[in-house]
């Protein structure tokens, strides 16, 4: 078995490439990344249980057909993922993310290879308390250039499935949290953990403190990807994936368990809004997928890894 992972050095990818050999013993993992973010340590200490091949290339321009032909699946993770930062580089995000997805999807359609597309729950923009994959179109109101591009990538995948027989599945991931070799600290939970350990105030959007949003433990992200491969879920459907729906206040309270003296500073942001919703993952769980992650554990693990930075020591808390 061969599985191709694009964006393999990133926050999700660097964990997924280590998880896949555990779930699919003997699999060859082909890792593609342009190393634009220079996360070279993602290649350090790959588990001996896996058979790995790394290719430094750009999925926007590479001829991917020889690489994906005959693969069990392609996991497409290559993307610029900073939603808040996408306002200042909207054209670059569109050019990078959409063009990359187009090239990957075309290669998979040309070769009959199954494709996993990772989108985002940030494509939702609704006042409904709970939202599912079957929501009305008016509830799909992306709040950032990044999210708008993700929605376009979803439409592209659906169109290619209908017109070219592309076998694909789309996951709308909640905000990912948890430790990986290629992690960054620009998304909510990770950023807050970083700020808390370094003694900085947590910069919270002033309208967001009691708004509910979906979060996804990294172990559940990898689990959902493996589940799609195991169950052959490549029929063009969309699946939400979120370990938990939580308010920012709850995330802050979790971090305060480990760093009791943290401070909160409210700031403005281009994507501030009054929207508060949680996402339903019933479509995925009805098929037998069980979310095993835990936000508190993800927070504890993240703080524990950086807890000695800046001369600080996080409070030790026993996890269940």
Q: How confident is the model at residue 273 (pLDDT cuts 50, 70, 90)?
A: low
What percent of the chain is modeled with pLDDT above 90? 69
Q: State the angle between helix axes of 11-23 and 218-231 in degrees (0 to 180), rounded to the nearest 10.
A: 50
In which element (H, E) is residue 22 found?
helix 11-23
Closest residue by Cα to residue 116 from 233, 209, 23: 233
Query: Distance (Å, rounded) from C-alpha 106 to C-alpha 111?
Result: 9
Query: Residue 303 burial (CB < 10 Å; 0-12/13-18/19+)?
Result: buried
Name the most confidently modeled range: 29-33, 83-87, 146-150.
Answer: 29-33
What is the pLDDT, as a whole number, of residue 86?
A: 46
Question: In a 3-state reduction of DSSP, which class is residue 276?
Answer: coil
Give catalytic residue positions. Answer: 146
In this structure, which topology does domain 2-176+217-241 adopt according to CATH? Rossmann fold (3.40.50)
Domain boundaries, the chain: 2-176+217-241, 188-212+244-278+292-311
Tell me which of 34-48, 81-95, 269-283 is least confident.
81-95
What is the pLDDT, as a whole number, of residue 188?
A: 87
DSSP at 97: I
Q: Right CATH number for 188-212+244-278+292-311 from 1.10.287.990, 2.60.40.650, 3.40.50.10800, 3.90.25.10?
A: 3.90.25.10
Asked if the model's pLDDT at residue 272 lies above 50, the reply is no
What are the helix and strand counts (H, E) for the chain? 10, 14
pLDDT, tens digit (0-9, with 9 covering 90-100), for 123-174: 997 666 789 999 888 888 877 788 889 999 999 999 999 999 999 999 999 9
Query: Distance (Å, rounded) from C-alpha 57 to C-alpha 86?
Result: 23
What is the pLDDT, as a whole number, of residue 238?
A: 96
Query: Distance (Å, rounded) from C-alpha 159 to C-alpha 73?
Result: 19
- Mean pLDDT for all residues in the chain: 89
For residue 210, CA distances in Å to 123, 155, 205, 206, 223 come to 20, 32, 10, 10, 29
Asked if the model's pLDDT at residue 102 lies above 60, the reply is yes
Q: How confident is the model at residue 36 (pLDDT cuts 50, 70, 90)?
A: confident
Radius of gyration of the chain (CA): 19
Please tell me if the domain spanning 2-176+217-241 has the same topology as the one spanning 188-212+244-278+292-311.
no
5 forms bridges with which residues in the sheet? 31, 75
Tell me which of 6-20, 134-148, 237-251, 259-273 is least confident.
259-273
Which residue did the predictor score with more confidence, 186 or 75?
75
């Amino acid at each position: 078995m061969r599985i191709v992972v694009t964006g393999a050095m990133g926050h999700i990818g660097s964990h997924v490439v280590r998880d896949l050999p555990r779930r699919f013993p003997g699999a060859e993992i082909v890792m593609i990344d342009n190393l634009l973010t220079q996360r070279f340590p993602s290649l350090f200490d790959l588990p001996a249980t896996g058979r790995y091949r790394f290719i430094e290339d750009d999925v926007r321009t590479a001829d991917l057909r020889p690489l994906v032909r005959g693969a069990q699946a392609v996991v497409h993770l290559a993307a610029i993922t900073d939603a808040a930062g996408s306002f200042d580089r909207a054209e670059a995000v569109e050019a990078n993310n959409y063009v990359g997805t187009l090239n990957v999807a075309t290669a998979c359609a040309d070769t009959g290879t199954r494709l996993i597309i990772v989108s985002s729950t940030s494509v939702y923009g609704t006042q409904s308390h709970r939202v599912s994959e079957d929501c009305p179109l008016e509830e799909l109101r992306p709040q950032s250039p990044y999210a708008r591009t993700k929605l376009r990538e979803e439409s592209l995948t659906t169109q290619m499935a209908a017109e070219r027989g592309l076998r694909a599945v789309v996951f709308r991931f909640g905000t990912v949290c948890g430790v990986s070799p290629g992690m960054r600290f620009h998304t909510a939970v990770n950023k807050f953990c970083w700020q808390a350990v370094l003694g900085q105030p947590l910069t919270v959007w002033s309208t967001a403190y009691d708004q509910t949003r979906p979060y996804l433990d990294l172990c559940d992200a990898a689990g959902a990807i493996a589940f799609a491969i195991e169950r052959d879920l490549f029929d063009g459907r969309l699946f939400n994936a979120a370990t938990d729906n939580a308010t920012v206040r709850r995330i802050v309270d979790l971090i305060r368990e480990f760093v009791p003296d943290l401070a909160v500073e409210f700031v403005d942001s281009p994507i501030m809004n009054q929207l508060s919703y949680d996402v339903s993952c019933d479509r995925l769980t009805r098929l037998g997928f069980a979310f095993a992650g835990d936000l508190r554990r993800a927070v504890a693990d993240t703080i524990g890894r950086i807890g000695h930075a800046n001369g600080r020591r996080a409070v030790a808390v026993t996890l269940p």
